[in-house]
Every structure is written in C-alpha cells, then in structure tokens.
Amino acid sequence: MAPVTPLLTNGQYPLLDVFWTMMWLFLWILWIFLLVRILSDVFRSNDLGGWGKALWTIFLIVLPYLGVLVYLIARGGSMHRREAQRAEDADELMRAYVRSAAGTSASTADELSKLADLRERGVLTDAEYDAQKTKLLRA
C-alpha cells in the first residue's frame, strides 16, 4: 500500500482540484452574500413584527442553507417590491429636500417689496432704502 502524501507535494496541485476549490470558494462567497442580503431584507421589512424578524433570524442562523431556501420561496418575490419601494422613498425624500432648499431663497422682487414695506412703515430712511436697493440690484 502506497503512503498517503499531502496534495501540495513538490508544488503539485492538480488543475481539476484548483477548479473544484475555486467553485466551492465562489459558492461559499455567494451564499454569504445571499445570507447578508436576506438578513438585511428581514430587518428592513415593515410587514414583519419583532417576533417574525427574530424567528427568521434564528432560522437563518440555525439552519442556514435551508433557511435561505425557505425564505426565498416564502418571501423572495416580495423582496424586489420592498427594495423598489425603499428606492422610491429615498428618491422622493431627496427630491423634497432639493425642492425645499431651492425654494427658500427669496427673489430680488420679494426683497425689494420687503424694503419698500419697511420704508413705508418708517423703519428705514430713504437713504437706507436707496443703499439697500442698490446693493440688491448689484447682486
């Protein structure tokens, strides 16, 4: 009977073994990515309560491969809808922020009407009004 030698004897590692190792590494990384994606979907989901999130998390940790497959079968179709809704909400928040930031600056006409109102009420003198008016029109 021949002695058992390690795989890396004299720097030799069969090409098929390299491909096999690469495949298993790829599948392991893919599974990790899928697990992280599913856990983030569980915790971001608004339709699951605290107990539902806890049970899914326990199921995914205790029986990881089966848990991922069951989650994809049970809730996989709605993962896309939830992600699209989150993207729409984020887009709407950004648009609202831009609208509010752009709409807060007053126009020159508004500023001039405020200055004229202050002059009429006697808060500004004619010289102060003319100086502020000139300053606004230059800008």
- DSSP codes of every residue in 41-108: HHHH-SSS-HHHHHHHHHHHHHSHHHHHHHHHHHHHHHHHHHHHHHHHHHHHHHHHHHHHHHHTSPPH
Q: Which two tokens stand for residue 134?
A: 């000139």
- The answer to whether 56 and 42 are in contact (CB under 8 A) is yes
The tens digit of pLDDT for each residue in 12-43 reads: 778 888 899 999 999 999 989 989 999 999 99
- Report the percent of the chain where pLDDT is more than 90: 29
Domain ranges of the chain: 106-139
Give me the helix-helix angle, 50-62 and 64-103, nearest 10°: 130
Q: What pLDDT score was predicted for residue 6?
A: 57
The tens digit of pLDDT for each residue in 82-130 reads: 889 999 999 999 998 888 887 655 677 788 888 888 889 888 888 888 8
Rg from Cα positions in the chain: 33
